Amino acid sequence: MSAPLPIRLALYQPDIAGNVGTILRMGACLGIAVDLIEPMGFAWSDRRLARAGMDYLSLGDVVRHADWAAFEDKVRGRIVLLSTKGAVRIDAAAFTPGDVLLFGAESSGVPDAVHDRADLRVTIPLVPGRRSLNVAVAAAIATGEALRQIKGWPGAAG
């Protein structure tokens, strides 16, 4: 897996088919590859995946990895973990071309070993007392900020 510019998205053992479908649709529309790190909490044929992804699923660049080790073996860019336990606020983070934005499972995030492996751990600040955003919403916010910083929006002149 080479790291085509501008960025990649990676989902660690996602639980919810609709969220994955939404993220795959976003990736297809923005020209961003998506890595799925298995096992997933639903069957690849789940109709909720197709409903959220609509007819964009076949247009995207999707790579499925059997597990974390298989993904880690292939990843070429810097791993930027989006986490409620992130050390850097998204508005202070510096994204670079080739970054792989990694998102944890909706139910459990990522294990400590994956958290520790990340090159950068970023958080999206929330109002005090709120736990977390939906992973597809967090992916959209992070993708937008990363693309803005690196001038990576489709049709953008470097």
Taking each continuous run of H as one helix and of E as one strand, the counts in the chain are: 5, 7
136 vs 80: CA distance, rounded Å: 16
Domain boundaries, the chain: 8-150
Q: Kindly report which listed range (1-5, 33-37, 120-124) carries the lowest average pLDDT score.
A: 1-5
pLDDT band at 9 (very low <50, low <70, confident <90, very high): very high
Name the strand (E) or helix (H) holding 145: helix 135-150
Please say if the pLDDT value at position 158 is more than 60. no
Hey, which residues does 34 pair with through a beta bridge? 9, 62
Angle between helices 17-30 and 135-150 (to 10 degrees): 20
85 vs 49: CA distance, rounded Å: 28
Among 49, 63, 41, which Cα is nearest to 17's? 49
Give the CATH number of domain 8-150; options: 3.40.50.970, 3.40.1280.10, 3.30.300.130, 3.30.830.10: 3.40.1280.10
Give SS3 for 73.
Answer: helix
pLDDT for the residue numbered 2: 43
- 56-69: average pLDDT: 90
Please say if the pLDDT value at position 3 is more than 70. no
Please say if the pLDDT value at position 124 is more than 50. yes
Task: Please provide the average confidence, as pLDDT, over all residues in the chain.
Answer: 91
- 24-34: average pLDDT: 94
115 vs 100: CA distance, rounded Å: 14
Q: Distance between the two ends of the chain, CA-based, in angstroms?
A: 23
3-state helix vs strand vs coil in the chain, percent to 5: 35, 20, 45
pLDDT tens track for 63-119: 999 999 999 999 999 999 999 999 999 999 999 999 999 999 998 999 999 999 999
| pTM for this prediction | 0.92
- Rg (the chain; Cα; Å): 14
Q: Kindly report which listed range (38-42, 108-112, 115-119, 134-138) carries the lowest average pLDDT score.
A: 38-42
Q: Where are the alpha helices (DSSP H) in 75-134?
A: 112-117
- 16-36: average pLDDT: 93
